Structure 1
């Protein structure tokens, strides 16, 4: 069972608990859900559609599918997903009063918005004598589980990776066999639009993709733009439809792939320590003056720069809500290092268009490329023509996306 502190719900015997779902839309290996089912007789799974959260259409459509899938999984276990709209803190407290909940379990997150939400929830629960427990299940390793000597987080990836790979991971938790919902709770309506998602959202789709992906050619082919041999699991990791702990424990997953998952944890701990990463240069004294024009940005966003690999990447983004990681590096480098456009504009465009748009990963990577972030070589530049020669030598990727217009 989940590792539940004794102070959560006074140790045992809780009658009713709420599980506030945020970015953990799954029943397998969900510590918050497992803990609530362990300690409480009745469990109320809750998702609050927060009007303050802005996401692009592809991500909203994917989320709709993920929520429908989660509701289905909970109903199979005798429960349901309660859906509300408004402020998550206010709606959680309102539901707690309605069902007489004694505790709330939630997955912690690292963005500035998420940290403030958790702090407000903690204050509100404390004022109403409701036990609150946050679980660090968005990442493999909790953001502050690893600290360098003399600092609160790692600023360079390599030493973080060395420590991270040596740390034992928690056990993967089974899905609960039963979820008992209090009688009479209005479950609410799910958002629509799941059919418009570029890929189907939800845990079932995530687990099926994980099952089919064996990683056998990842080492050789993950940078092959035309071959498209990456896992395509990033949207499922972002929404928590798939546990990162379970994923890296899958038989046959190569170390190179595990390293990429570690990069995800690395940026999570950077964002947790520096939540202003979305709008403030991470590296003190970094160049942060940008000469690029609106016209430069518009041509880049539309995939009309005249640079084939850059345009191909941007057109893939527009069509699929996704872009190959190598193309992400090249397009971001071209916008910032060649056109001189502010990295914040590019990062915001990616967040609006990407199904897997993630605050820590997206803004961390954009700052890395722009030279304002964690790159130890801030003047690094990705030449799009050389990158094309190396990673798209046959021209298949460029032809695939440029021929669509």
Structure 2
């Protein structure tokens, strides 16, 4: 009898989850496992996972547990070192194979390597991109170092998104003798009512059903037709798609978004705004593919550029984290982030630029702060965006410095955002 562990990582869904579907097809009995992130300190003196992100991810795991339970299975939720706990669990149950998604970031790759070193077979499947690697018009090793070149190649080749697959019709029963105790939900942190992503509301919590309902209502209400015009607005829920928190947790997949987008375009016709949603999915894929190409080089202090490490301004960084720099737009963004776990993409770019170029701070400290705070933290996009702004990634212009006054005039001309978070 074949017994497998399925290790849910950042793919907390049942539908359109190729690795999980494959495990269901292979196994006679299957133990679904989720390892909660371990709370550790960063080199910069703060906890690596803040309350907002921790709670949102816990709601996603809880929703997944409910889905599995409704289908006659269950989710074993464990805390502690993922490798140690999985090795011990496999040993106790005489299981020798783990199936999971592949995450091509150094820590996540090291976890899989350590599991294999402990004698386990790990089948890790690449599945978080819009496109399969086989469908790309270039090998990963030949990935262009400029995004626009990558985009043109993909569009010229009419590269098709991976087909969406349904939830498995049956999920194998749990291994004999396994008993799974329900996990007590975490106490939610206080969430400011001004939040642009009110994740404590049921409709914005982290699970797959909430993600699908949000995806459907977004297109049903026709918001895709105005995305390009509103995406740089700073504070309203409907200004952007808000798909990113669910994408980051894997409660929603990029092919599911693409499928809904194509259906909307088929009914209402395509336009600049619908294309721009697709454009953002291309950026998301690009940051993932860069990890496959460059791996640990993306995590050097000097990134792909090489050379000397960046300097740092500890006092300035501390003021930046607290939203006490004295620059009203920067402070508004950082206060919103601390209070809600979310800020708009435009504000992220502005505050990142300010830390790097105005405060002469280390981009890695800023990336770590975002990792701790953001409910939509994604290792690929977070690393890629900070490298891009700092000039240590693939930006052909060698970094993106934003003029804070100009940005305030363009995106907060009436001062409403700054007043909201004063």
TM-score of the superposed pair, with normalisation by structure 1: 0.86
Report the counterpart of residue 264 of structure 2 in structure 1: 252
Give yes or no for the alignment of 1:182 onto 2:203: no
Q: Give matches, 1:40-119, under 5 Å.
A: 40-49=27-36, 51=38, 54-101=48-95, 103-119=97-113
Q: Distance in 2 between matches of 1:281 and 1:46?
A: 36
Relative to structure 1, the CA distance from residue 37 to residue 97 in structure 2 (aligned partners, 3 Å threshold; closer, same or farther) is same
How has the CA–CA distance of structure 1 residues 137 and 116 changed in structure 2, closer, same or farther, with 3 Å as cutoff? same
| Preserved CA contact (<8 Å) 1:287 1:372 | no
Runs of 5+ consecutive residues of structure 2 not aligned to the other structure: 41-47, 192-197, 200-204, 266-273
Identify the residue that residue 4 of structure 1 maps to in structure 2: none
Q: C-alpha offsets along residues 343-400 of structure 1, whole Å, 9 cap, x if unaligned? A: 1121111111111122221121111111222111125321111112222223222222
Are the structure 2 counterparts of residues 50 and 324 from structure 1 closer, same or farther at C-alpha, using a change threshold of 3 Å? closer
Deviates more, 1:217-226 or 1:182-191: 182-191
**1:201-220 aligned within 5 A:** 201-214=206-219, 215-220=224-229
Task: Work out which of the residue numbers 151, 155, 171 in structure 1 matches 2:145.
Answer: 155
User: 2: distance between equivalents of 1:371 and 1:267?
Assistant: 15
2:125 pairs with 1:135: yes
Alignment correspondent of 2:295: 274
How do 1:1-400 and structure 2 match up within 5 A? 15-49=2-36, 51=38, 54-101=48-95, 103-124=97-118, 127=119, 130=121, 132-142=122-132, 146=136, 151-165=141-155, 166-179=158-171, 180-190=173-183, 192-193=185-186, 195-196=188-189, 199=199, 200-214=205-219, 215-228=224-237, 229-250=239-260, 251-252=263-264, 254-272=274-292, 273-285=294-306, 288-290=309-311, 293-400=313-420
Cross-structure match for 1:6: none
Partner of 2:195: none
How far has the Cα of 1:300 moved from its partner? 1.6
Tell me: CA distance 1:274–1:152, structure 2 relative to 1, closer, same or farther (3 Å). Answer: farther
SS of equivalent residue, structure 1 residue 105: strand
- Counterpart contact for 2:161–2:255, Cα < 8 Å: yes
What secondary structure is seen at the aligned counterpart in 2 of 1:217? helix
- Provide closer, same or farther for how the CA distance between residues 211 and 194 of structure 1 changes in structure 2, counting only shifts above 3 A: farther
Unpaired stretches in structure 1, ≥5 consecutive residues: 1-13
Partner secondary structure for residue 332 of structure 2: helix
Shift of 1:100: 4.5
CA distance in 2, matches of 1:144, 1:87: 34
- Determine the structure 2 residue equivalent to 1:7: none
Between 1:274-283 and 1:112-121, the stretch displaced more is: 274-283
Q: In structure 2, do the counterparts of structure 1 residues 24 and 221 end up closer, same or farther at CA, with 3 Å as the change threshold?
A: same
Q: Give the direction of change, closer, same or farther, for the CA distance of 1:26–1:226 in structure 2 (3 Å limit).
A: closer
Instruction: Give deviations 1:304-323, integer Å, cap 9, x for gaps.
Output: 22222211111111111011
TM-aligned CA distance change 1:191 to 1:140, over 3 Å? farther
Q: Provide the aligned C-alpha RMSD in A.
A: 2.5
- Alignment length (residue pairs): 384
Retained in 2: the 8 A contact 1:147–1:153? no
1:108 is displaced (CA, Å) by 0.4
